[in-house]
Structures are given as structure tokens and as C-alpha cells.
Structure 1
Amino acid sequence: MGAVESTEGEREPLLAPRPPEEQGAQPVNSSRVYGRRWVVLTLFSVLGFLQGMVWNTWGPIQNSAKHAFGFSTTDIAVLVLWGPVGYIPWLLFMWLMDKKGLRVSLLLTAFLMVLGSVLRSVPLTDLQLRRWLIHGGQLLNGLAGPTLMSAGPLLSTTWFAPDQRATATAVASLVGYLGAACSFLIGPLAVPAPNDTQIVNTITHWDPGHIRDRIQLVLYTELGVIAVFFVAVLLYFPSRPPRPPSVAAASQRLSYRSSICRLLSNMRFLMIALAYSVPTGVVAGWSGVLDMILTPVRVSQVDAGWIGFWSILGGCVFGVAMARFADSIRGMLKLILVLMLAGASLAATWFTLTCLTRLTHLPSTKATLYTSCILVGIFINSSVPIFFELFIETVYPVPEGITCGVVTFLSNLFTGLLLFFLTFYFTGRICSMLFFYFTPISWNDE
């Protein structure tokens, strides 16, 4: 048998060599988890904490603010309403997050918070002008909400391994609620309250100037802390790690326009989003004016603050625990949410019936108000990170920031509708009845 020399074409390799710029590239499965992820999570969480605290500044001290600055009930409701109003340009913030990354988005958010805190803290003697500056500061703080409320899942996917993702999402998403809870505690303890929420023989009238000085101290303190963390984010907050923590974090996602179209055409996503946004949005607005709701039933400003604090704190602690449980057991997200919403419905029913004591003849005591409100906060607020994980699994490969931006916008929409209604038609009974009516017991994803 004779051997024939191979031709030039036969000696060409079947697989072409990779270009030089691709030869040094890391493979997709070359993932790594960095210890600095906890620093990134801490900076983001603290800003979320401060944003929630500033948003809920005036509700817990509404009686004091009325005496110090001449605010009306409408003013207090509008000050809380600026949080949902700040969500109107949410598409712009979601676009910025998708195109420029977390660092640019968070720097803009922190700058808006600093500027808003400066406006609130200007010590003018003209109370009318001071009133407008406070409203402007609350609006700027509300504009910081879209990034801080929706970027938690994006941060956890970008920096954390899959077995830590739900826990990181819970911390980043719930710490804003914890800030609102601390304002329930800090405000009433730092600012003296006029005793007009209790029926006593003699009513002590506090000096409005003294109340104004104490409120000014709270505003200055919040401004200083926000400025410190703005500098910290400016000095160190990377958009992403050098290597992704998982294959999912390195995968290609849909474009901004395609993501919005995909979400709005996904009926299952819209149904789950409705189940999330209605109860969480209404409870957020309801808790923001909790002192006004409980004043007609003779609950003092301090007691209302403690009720709001423990209800939100319980939801945050329980939410992190449930997220840690969801990290270890997958496939049970719907069952967990159904149980949470069922518990919230029962607790809301209990609260409503005790407030309607003239009709139901049920005892309305401090213990029943504490227990029912705390249970509502635990069940509703702890469901937030579980909902976020379910959203991400439902609409993948839509980017996490865009997905959570849509659902948090819907939640703030219902918050705004409730507060807008309360601005003009506020009564304590209507608040509790609306709160009960809008808390669903379950949802269907078929």
C-alpha cells in the first residue's frame, strides 16, 4: 500500500484557535466569592436603613410636629406620601442601574439623601418657608427609594453565592423597614409629646420652642450620619466583583426594553406582583401614619411608636430567618408565602375588630393592639425577601434590578393611593377597615 502525502488543506486544524484577546479570558464557570461582599452589603444596607428612617421621621412625632411647626393632619400624610411619589421616575432609576451599575446608582441615591437632609435641617424662623423646605427634603429622600428598595436582589446575585443569595436579599431588602422601625423608637423618645392623646384631668402644654429644638437635633443627627456614609460609598463601592460568584451571575441577561416587555406580558408574574404589592404597599402606608390611626383610640405617641417599632422589627428578624430557611430548602416559596399571608389576614381581622369595639364589644386594650400589630408586621414584612426570590425565579433571565423595580413601584403605588385618600378623608376607623380589606389571604399562580 502506498502512502500519499497529505495536502496543505488537510493539515489545517478542524477547530480554529481562539483570538488572543479571548485566550486570557476567564471561563464562565471560574467563579469566586470575595470577602469584601460583606462590606458592600453593609454600605448598601446602612443607606437603606437611613432612607427608611428619614421617610418615617414625621409620622411617629406627628403630634409634636403639629405644635412645633403648625403642621396639619394633611401635612403629616403628605410628608409620608412623598416616599411613594419619589417612585414616579422609577424607570429612569432602573435604566441607570441596568446601564451604569450599582456604584453610579448608589452614589446618586446617597447624594439625593444628603441634599434632602440638608433642606430639612435649615433652621429658618419663617415657619411657612421652613415647611416647604421640609417637604422638599422629604421628596428628595423619596427619590432615593427606587434604587434602595429594588437593588437588593441585584446586589445579592452580583456578589453572593447561590446558597447565600436569599439571606443577602433579605438583609438588603428589610433593613429599610428596620430604619422605619427605629424612627418609631427614636422620634417619640427624643422629642417630647404634648399630652393630647390621653384623657387626663390636667393637660400639660409643652413649649413649642423646646419641641422644635428637639426635632432639630434629630434632623441634624440624621444629616451627619447620612453625610458620613455618602463619603464611604464615594471612597469605596465597586459595581461588581472581579469574578462572578456563580454561573447565573455571569450569564447574559435581557436588554432593558426587552425586560420591560417580558414582565408586562407575563401573566404569572403580574399575578404574583399583585399579591406582593397590595398588602405590602397598604401596610407601609398604614404604618407611616400609625400614630394618627391610634390617636382616636387614646393611644399615646410613645405607645404608638413602640407598637410600630416592634411590629417592623419582628418582621425583619423573622424575614431573615425565613430567608435563611429558604436558602436550604428550595421549591417551597409559594407554601411559605400562603402561610404568611393567611397569618396576616387573621391578625388584621383581630386588629380591626378590636378597633370597632362599639360594634363588636371586644376588649380593646394595649396588649391586644400590641399583639395584633406586631403579628401583622411579622407576617407581611417577612414575606418581602421570599417574594423577591420568587420573582427572580419566575422571570429569569430578566435582570433582578428591573424585576424588583417594577414590583416595588406597584407597592409604592398602593401606598400612595392609601395616603392620598387619607390626606383628604382621614378617620381612624376607615384606616383600620381599609387595612383589613386589602390584606389578601392567598393567591393563585395558575
Structure 2
Amino acid sequence: MESSAGRPLLPTGGGTDGEIRVYRWRWYILTVITLLNISNGALASWFQPVADTTAQFYGVELSEVNWLSLAFLLTAVPLGFAATWVLDVIGLRAGIILGAWIQAAGAGITAISTLHDIPPSYRFVLVVAGQVVAATAQPLLRQSPAKVAATWFADNQRATANMIISMGSPIGAIVSNLVGPQVARPGDRHSLQLLVSLYTVIPCLTVLMATFGICSSSPPSPPSISAAKGTQPFLQGLKMLCRDVQYWILMLTFGAGMGTFQTFVSVIEQVFCPRGYTDTFAGICAALMVLLGMVGAGAAGVLLDRTKRFEEIIKLSAAIGTLALIAFAVLSNYPGVEVPLAISASVFGVTAFAMYPTALELSVEITYPVSAATSSGLLIVCGNLQAIILTFMAKYIPPPLPPSQTSHAHCGKVVPRDFKVMMLVFAGWMTVASVTLLLGLKPVYKRLQVERTEANNSINTDQPSPTT
């Protein structure tokens, strides 16, 4: 057991021995939830790098394979509200274990869809069902980072813990893009069965780790003063959020950034191919956005824990990210500018990932004593909602590329589409959000204020009274 400086707990605290205390077991809990998010990210995208092989195995068109990823996006918004309630009211342990079992069930159904004994006409139905079930677990897992950080980690570790768990899903996507093409081979049904089986291992392992290793929603003694004081009931917290203008500004602008990034990554190949850029280059840009973005998120987490400068980091990230996206929107209209495109995409990825843990932690700071699961969870719901809107816009706004402009197109059998207007929509969407954030967000760090005030009061109480 690790102990902090042994500060006396507040009279309202719930510690067992009168101290603020952190436990080594928190790292096990962080590891389990991070692994759950990694496996969920992999399950959400396992078929994308092997879409042709997947379509061939299940006997469907490529357009139908896209429904496997839409299952995750379409379930995120309605189930996001339910996940917020589960994590806040029923408890972190119940929410994580429930999410682990649902995810394992979804992975199992997907694995069953590859068995020889399943009639071909039922295979695709089963794999879609498996994806829908696994998608049901996503909100419980993705909305847990801020709750875990606030409940189990000291005030100088919260942002880092939030960042580590939040990066689980992108890591899973990277794993699927690296492993998929190496394992699944076109025309080899056994290779696809092996691939799906591999993606079933971690969900089955983590469901055991969660069920038997996470024994409580909170530690015996709280890790910080704010954790000791507790939070508002769920409905009361929702009422407080509805009246909080600063929270609305943060939620809508963060949602714009999250939605833009998710949609942008999903269509980047379609943006590139009409201008003659290869799928390999599109994959490199997407990988740079995610890999360098994780570096940006890590740096942001460490800086936040050391400096607590939430406002400066999120505003700087939003401004630089918007400028990078505007540059990309202009450059993407021209062939032969690979290096500037890769640089602008990378900068956008770094800033977008840096904003993610920053916004989640900032939402808890400015809304305290609202529960972390509620304030941060609704931010993610808003991001998913805007991603759905932008995804449908990206599907219907870009027109077919005029025949006179197809000389550079490198889209294979896919009809190239002109994303010029859609890229301007992305840039405009982010510009409006960033300007609103820069001018409108004036946060008050309520959680930090409470912790510092109570800590100072505790120090003053411990000092001997002056003698006369």
C-alpha cells in the first residue's frame, strides 16, 4: 500500500483510518480497463484493413461490410446516456464488469460466425449481431476513464490515468490495422477464422481479470480530498450540468473536435484517391495521426498533472489543430504534395489527441461536485452524435468527380468523389468550435479550489496556536 503525505482527512471523508491514501491495486484496475478498451477498439475495426477478405468470406458486398463499423457508432449515442447512469448510480465495478461480459459475448458471437457448421446464409447475420453486442459495451468502457481517475488516483496522477485508459481504443485500432493484413489472406477462410479467434482472446482474458480482480468501485480510503467529499446524486448532477453555460461550451466544442477527427480518419482514403494518392499513403497518414496523437495525449496528461493548466492546453490544442485542418483542406485539392499533407495531418492528430484527456478532466473540474462519469460521459456522447452527423454528411455531400478531373484518380473500382466541399465543411466546423472555445470558455477549477482550500485549512488546524 502506498500512502501520500498522510494528510488528515476531512470530517466529511469516508476513509477508514483518517488519511488520504492511494493503493497499488489502482494500477491493476487501470491495466484491466485499458485492456478492455484496447480489445474494444480492435473489435470495432478488425475487418477494416481486410475488408475485401471479409466480404468474400461472408458472401456480401463491401458496402455491407461498412455496417460492421456503423454498429459501434449508432449504438454509442443512445446507450451513452444509459452507460453514464450505470457508472454513476450502480457503480464503477458493476459497469466495468458488465461491459467486460457484454464485450466477451460479442467477440464470442463473432467467432461463432466463422465456424464451418454455420450455414453461409447465417454467417453475416451472426457477425453483425456480434458487432452490435460488442458495441453495446463500448459506452461503459470509453466513459470510465475520468471516473477511474477521480475515484482511485491522487490529484497529481488523475490526468495521466485518464490519458492511459483513453488511449486504449486507438491502440486497439492500430493493433487491428497491423495484425489484420498479416494474418488474413484473400481466399483463405482459415486465416480469417484465426484472425477472429485472436481478437476473442483478450476479451475472454479481461472478463476474468475484471470479474475476479475488481472487487469494489472505490478504495477503502479516498485518494484525494475531492474524492473524500463525494459527488451529487445523478439527477441533481444532470440539473447542474443543464444550467452550466461553461459546460455547454466545453461539451459542444469538444464534441465538434471528436466528431471531426473520427469522421476525418474514416474518409481519409476517399479524400486522397481522387488526387492520385495511394491507399498506402492514406494508411501512413492515418497511422501518423494516431501514433503521434498518442504522444501528444501523453504529453498533455503529464503537463496537466504537473501544471493544472487545463484552459491553456485545450485552447492551444484547438487553435493549432484547426489551422492544421484548414491547411490540409487546401492541400488535399492538389496532387504531389505528400510531405505537407502528412505534416498537417500529423499536427491535427497530435492536437486532437491532446484535447481528449484534457477536455475530460476539465469537464470534471468545472462541474464539481457533479460525478465524473456524468460530466465526462456526456462529452463523449456529444462527440459521437456529431460524428454521426458528419459521417452522413460525408456520405451524401461529395459529388462524383467530373470525368475531366479523373486523370490523377487512384481509386480502383470505387467511383471517385470530390471531397473539396466536405473538407471545407470539416474546416469550418472546427473553426466555429475553436473560436467559440477561445472566446467563450472561462473555466473555474472548482475541484482544485475545494482541494486546495481544505488542504490549507487542514494545515492551519495542525499548527499550534500562538501563545500570548
After superposition, residues 410-421 of structure 1 pair within 5 angstroms as 410-421=382-393
Structure 2 residue 63 is matched with structure 1 residue 85: no
Structure 2 residue 292 is matched with structure 1 residue 314: yes
Deviations 1:227-277 (A, max 9, x none): 111111111013211111111112131111111111122111001111100
Q: SS state of the match for residue 134, structure 1?
A: helix
Instruction: Tell whether the 8 Å contact from 2:15 to 2:220 is kept in structure 1 after alignment.
Output: no
Q: SS state of the match for residue 438, structure 1?
A: helix
Structure 2 residue 103 is matched with structure 1 residue 113: yes
2:379 alignment counterpart: 407
Q: 1:304 to 1:275 in 2, by over 3 A?
A: same
1:241 alignment counterpart: 219
Q: Which residue among 77, 81, 84 is the counterpart of 1:94?
A: 84
Structure 2 residue 129 is matched with structure 1 residue 136: yes
Calculate the TM-score normalised by the size of structure 1.
0.83
Instruction: Tell whether the 8 Å contact from 1:80 to 1:288 is kept in structure 2 after alignment.
Output: no
1:179 alignment counterpart: 172
Q: Could you list the runs of 5+ residues in structure 2 that have no partner in the other structure?
A: 1-10, 399-416, 443-468
Q: Could you list the runs of 5+ residues in structure 1 that have no partner in the other structure?
A: 1-21, 193-207, 358-362
Instruction: Tell whether the 8 Å contact from 1:59 to 1:290 is kept in structure 2 after alignment.
Output: no
How far apart, in 2, do the equivalents of 1:218 and 1:383 lie? 33
How far apart, in 2, do the equivalents of 1:232 and 1:353 lie? 48
1:162 alignment counterpart: 155
User: 1:178 Cα deviation (Å)?
Assistant: 2.0
How far apart, in 2, do the equivalents of 1:139 and 1:310 lie? 29
Instruction: Tell whether the 8 Å contact from 1:153 to 1:400 is kept in structure 2 after alignment.
Output: yes
User: 1:369 Cα deviation (Å)?
Assistant: 3.6
1:368 alignment counterpart: 340
How far apart, in 2, do the equivalents of 1:65 and 1:414 lie? 28
Q: Which residue among 248, 262, 278 is the counterpart of 2:256?
A: 278
1:39 alignment counterpart: 28
How far apart, in 2, do the equivalents of 1:186 and 1:114 lie? 20
User: 1:173 Cα deviation (Å)?
Assistant: 1.5
2:194 alignment counterpart: 217
How far apart, in 2, do the equivalents of 1:115 and 1:291 lie? 32
Higher RCO (C-alpha 8 Å, min separation 6): 1
Q: 1:291 to 1:132 in 2, by over 3 A?
A: farther
2:231 alignment counterpart: 253
How far apart, in 2, do the equivalents of 1:388 and 1:412 lie? 14
State, as a whole percentage, how many aligned pairs show the same letter: 23
Q: 1:289 to 1:181 in 2, by over 3 A?
A: farther
1:445 alignment counterpart: 441
Instruction: Tell whether the 8 Å contact from 1:149 to 1:173 is kept in structure 2 after alignment.
Output: yes
Using the TM superposition, name which of 61-70 and 283-292 deviates more. Answer: 61-70
Q: SS state of the match for residue 31, structure 1?
A: strand
Q: Which residue among 301, 304, 325 is the counterpart of 1:326?
A: 304
Q: 1:71 to 1:370 in 2, by over 3 A?
A: farther
2:365 alignment counterpart: 393
Q: SS state of the match for residue 20, structure 2?
A: coil
- Which letter maps to 1:101? G
After superposition, residues 417-436 of structure 1 pair within 5 angstroms as 417-423=389-395, 427=417, 429=419, 431-436=422-427
Deviations 1:182-221 (A, max 9, x none): 32333334445xxxxxxxxxxxxxxx422x4433322110
How far apart, in 1, do the equivalents of 2:106 and 2:418 lie? 30
Q: 1:354 to 1:58 in 2, by over 3 A?
A: farther
1:230 alignment counterpart: 207
Q: SS state of the match for residue 251, structure 2?
A: helix
Deviations 1:95-118 (A, max 9, x none): 221222211111111111111112
Number of residues of Structure 1 aligned to a counterpart in Structure 2? 401
Q: 1:74 to 1:229 in 2, by over 3 A?
A: same
Q: 1:64 to 1:435 in 2, by over 3 A?
A: farther
Instruction: Tell whether the 8 Å contact from 1:175 to 1:316 is kept in structure 2 after alignment.
Output: no
Q: 1:26 to 1:418 in 2, by over 3 A?
A: closer
- Which letter maps to 2:441? D
User: 1:70 Cα deviation (Å)?
Assistant: 4.8
Deviations 1:108-159 (A, max 9, x none): 1111111111222222565543222222222222211212211101101111
Q: SS state of the match for residue 32, structure 1?
A: strand
How far apart, in 2, do the equivalents of 1:191 and 1:298 lie? 27
Q: 1:152 to 1:387 in 2, by over 3 A?
A: same
Instruction: Tell whether the 8 Å contact from 2:43 to 2:134 is kept in structure 1 after alignment.
Output: yes
Q: 1:185 to 1:163 in 2, by over 3 A?
A: same
Please tell me whether Structure 1 or Structure 2 has the larger radius of gyration of its CA atoms. 1
How far apart, in 1, do the equivalents of 2:109 and 2:361 lie? 37
Q: 1:431 to 1:325 in 2, by over 3 A?
A: same
How far apart, in 2, do the equivalents of 1:182 and 1:428 lie? 31
CA RMSD of aligned residues (A): 2.5
Q: 1:436 to 1:79 in 2, by over 3 A?
A: farther
How far apart, in 2, do the equivalents of 1:299 and 1:27 lie? 62
After superposition, residues 142-157 of structure 1 pair within 5 angstroms as 142-157=135-150
Structure 2 residue 38 is matched with structure 1 residue 49: yes
User: 1:401 Cα deviation (Å)?
Assistant: 0.4
User: 1:410 Cα deviation (Å)?
Assistant: 0.5
